[in-house]
A and B are shown apart, each in its own frame.
Chain A
Amino acid sequence: MSRFSPKVVTANDLRLGDVIYLTADDLWTRQHHLAELIEDEAHAQLRLLHAAGQQTEVVGAYLADAKAGPMGPEPIHFREVFRTRGPSNYAHGKQVDLQNV
């Protein structure tokens, strides 16, 4: 049996459309490293169900691979890295928005 690779629950905010992550205390954060790093497959499915049920807040929740880092979970795939910061052609999105948080 293949080992479960850790995950975070991520989605887009219904109103703003921006990228959000589920925290361990059931809140949504804009910052990847504050997300809950889920290391158990059954727990991951429960957390995804919990997220998918929040129809008036989030869109398109899914599980994304992540790994533990010094500040908290870090993305693995480059697509998820881009989602943590925004486009590369302008200083738009999280790479500037989060500086004001």
Chain B
Amino acid sequence: MYSYSDFDEAFVRNRVAQFTDQISRRLDGSLTEDEFRPLRLMNGLYLQLHAYMLRVAIPYGTLSPRQMHALADIAQTYDKGYGHFTTRQNIQFNWPKLPEVPAILSALADVEMHAIQTSGNTVRNVTADHFAGAAADEIEDPRPYAELLRQWSSDHPEFQFLPRKFKIAVTGSPNDRAVTRAHDIGLRMQRNAAGEVGFEVIAGGGLGRTPMLGFVIRPFLPVEDLLAYVEAVLSVYNTLGRRDNKYKARIKITVHETGREEITRMVEARFAEIKPQFGGADQALLADIRAAFAPPKFRTAPTIGYEAARSKDPIFRAWADTNLAPHRHPDYAIVTVSIKAHGQTPGDATAAQMHRLADLAAAYGHSDLRISHEQNVILPHVHKSDLAALHAGLSEAGLATANVGLISDIIACPGMDYCALATARSIPVAQDIALRFDALKLEHDIGPLKIKISGCINACGHHHIGHIGILGLDRAGVESYQITLGGDGSQDAVIGEKTGPGFAYDQIVPAIERIVLAYLGLRLAQDETFLQTYQRLGIAPFKAALYPPEAVDDAA
């Protein structure tokens, strides 16, 4: 993976020193909160409901064991013994104390990490396919491009005060695991007729209060033009974006108000203007970065042990069937470690679990760890002969839940248990749904189903693209949950459709159960997924199950 250059190291250390001084001046009263707030947000420090929260960037979701150990140590020393992996592949600490933040940032800098640009109206952490460099369906590892974008966007003087935050996602595979169509810019690697690699560039996507899927602004962009083109998009957005109204400030609204053709014309004109200025320096940098992402030295060894363990141990087999994905090397597998044990908080890992994951990645995973936007941890390169030992190591740490892609593998934002912006809780709803379907013993029968929960309209829990989406709102001083159905975050992205009136906190789990039981009765065969059944039949039969006539009569 990429290692900091002397420049990176000095930049991060300087920022730690600068922010440390700013914290001191806040504590001694030299800075007011109004003066300090934009400074702390530039450094990922929020003030939430019960405490400060520090959001640490995990560039394109990639971590080394050393970094994971450091995150565990921070959780143990400065927090309450755990960290929360987010839907943008970052980690959040929920309980830092302001005077201790400098020590945390120093500890992060020791392992080439920071919290810069994890907040504010800047280019945020560039996210990528969590199977990058390992996926069987991949054209090329997208992470060198993500790293190039990270270096370019970090402290970019033109883009520190954008109209609003700006999120970029990149994937190297036709199967989109990075939700590129719901980002301000989505980059999907393609091959053209000549076999050359480039990007389909998607712009203007985003969830939040005005969910929109991005449109293709450039069907094929040669990879060498990436920075100049992305800079052109940012530049046009920076000029046109609505700074007068924060609810209309994202690029999706700019695209909507300006028109796709006109935006495209302006971006192409700006691109033609700035492209000559890049002069090849970015390509020299990219070549260096590529070398840092060379694939690991894959091991040649028999995989017989894997087959033997499968036939001997049904628990291992169930886990392997659910949590493994095809690797480009036939003797390897991609392991998704579920951070969604039934009843636990989605995305929360204890310090002990983080240490264990780091040790297992070092022992069995070519020292590579990923955080997925679905709040799980990936070991992208595990030789099949090591899977049984890995599974045993995960089991001991409560990390062997066999539920990846199933109904309890729920994305949930922190909601009103932590977040100052939230309008309702999301974590306990996720916990209760997982426990309910575990008790019903229906999870594996139901099969692939993505539930995504947001505790407010900002949609950090991606509810719009959940097969079942849940949005928590405050309706006249009471928590109320609105359901959407049929959303999809894949290459065939769809924004889900609202079912109708919302449900009270104590009614949302029974409501989800009615939808899922209806699906089980409606599907043509066991292998017809929830989403396929929904696409075949539409929303009507699910609404009928959700709002039975007698309940409507009672309400009237």
8 Å CB contact of A17 from B29, B32, B47: B47
Complex Cα distance, B52 from A90, in Å, reads: 17
Q: Which residues of A contact B50 (CB under 8 A)?
A: 17-19, 83, 86-87, 92-94
Given A78-B477, A88-B417, A59 contacting B47 (CB threshold 8 A)? yes
Within 8 A of B (CB), among A50-87: 55-56, 59-60, 76-79, 82-83, 86-87
Q: Which residues of A contact B80 (CB under 8 A)?
A: 90, 92
Interface assignment of B191: CB less than 8 Å from any CB of chain A? no
Among B47, B50, B80, chain A packs the most CB atoms within 10 A around the CB of B50
- B510 → A minimal CB distance (Å): 19
Residue of B nearest to A19 (CB): B50
Complex Cα distance, B79 from A16, in Å, reads: 12
Contact indicator A82/B49 (Cβ below 8 Å) = yes
Contact indicator B97/A89 (Cβ below 8 Å) = no
Residue of A nearest to B343 (CB): A89
Residue of A nearest to B51 (CB): A17
Interface assignment of A31: CB less than 8 Å from any CB of chain B? no
Within 8 A of B (CB), among A6-45: 12, 14-19
Q: Which residues of B contact A90 (CB under 8 A)?
A: 80, 345
Interface assignment of B16: CB less than 8 Å from any CB of chain A? no
Considering only CB atoms and an 8 Å cut-off, how many residues of chain B contact the other chain?
31
Complex Cα distance, B455 from A89, in Å, reads: 14
| Chain B 469-507 interface 0/1 with A at a Cβ cutoff of 8 Å (1 = within) | 000001001110000000000000000000000000000
Contact indicator B32/A55 (Cβ below 8 Å) = yes
- A89 → B minimal CB distance (Å): 5
Which of B171-179, B389-397, B423-431 is the interface stretch? B423-431
8 Å CB contact of B478 from A15, A16, A78, A87: A78
Complex Cα distance, B347 from A89, in Å, reads: 12
Contact indicator B479/A89 (Cβ below 8 Å) = no
Complex Cα distance, B52 from A77, in Å, reads: 22
Q: Which residues of A contact B95 (CB under 8 A)?
A: 92
Contact indicator B27/A56 (Cβ below 8 Å) = yes
Contact indicator A17/B98 (Cβ below 8 Å) = yes
- B457 → A minimal CB distance (Å): 15
Q: Which residues of A contact B416 (CB under 8 A)?
A: 78-79, 82
Residue of B nearest to A59 (CB): B33
Contact indicator A76/B477 (Cβ below 8 Å) = yes
Residue of A nearest to B345 (CB): A89
Complex Cα distance, B420 from A12, in Å, reads: 11
Interface assignment of B538: CB less than 8 Å from any CB of chain A? no
Within 8 A of A (CB), among B398-439: 416-418, 425, 427-428, 431
8 Å CB contact of B431 from A15, A56, A89, A92: A89
Q: Which residues of A contact B47 (CB under 8 A)?
A: 12, 17, 59-60
Q: Which residues of B contact A17 (CB under 8 A)?
A: 47-48, 50-52, 96-98
Q: Which residues of A contact B97 (CB under 8 A)?
A: 15-17
Contact indicator A15/B99 (Cβ below 8 Å) = yes
Q: Which residues of A contact B244 (CB under 8 A)?
A: none
- B480 → A minimal CB distance (Å): 11
Q: Which residues of A contact B479 (CB under 8 A)?
A: 78
Contact indicator A88/B49 (Cβ below 8 Å) = no
Complex Cα distance, B478 from A88, in Å, reads: 16
Q: Which residues of B contact A19 (CB under 8 A)?
A: 49-50
Among B29, B49, B95, B428, chain A packs the most CB atoms within 10 A around the CB of B49
Complex Cα distance, B51 from A19, in Å, reads: 8
Q: Which residues of A contact B98 (CB under 8 A)?
A: 14-17
Complex Cα distance, B449 from A43, in Å, reads: 54
- Can you spell out 9 A-B residue pairs with CB atoms less than 8 angstroms apart? A16-B98, A17-B98, A55-B29, A56-B28, A59-B47, A76-B477, A78-B478, A87-B50, A93-B51
Residues in A lying within 8 Å of B, measured CB to CB: 12, 14-19, 55-56, 59-60, 76-79, 82-83, 86-90, 92-94
Known: A77-B477, A93-B50. 4 other contacts (CB 8 A): A18-B50, A78-B477, A79-B474, A90-B80
The 7 closest A-B pairs by CB, nearest first: A87-B417, A17-B51, A17-B52, A56-B29, A93-B50, A89-B427, A89-B345
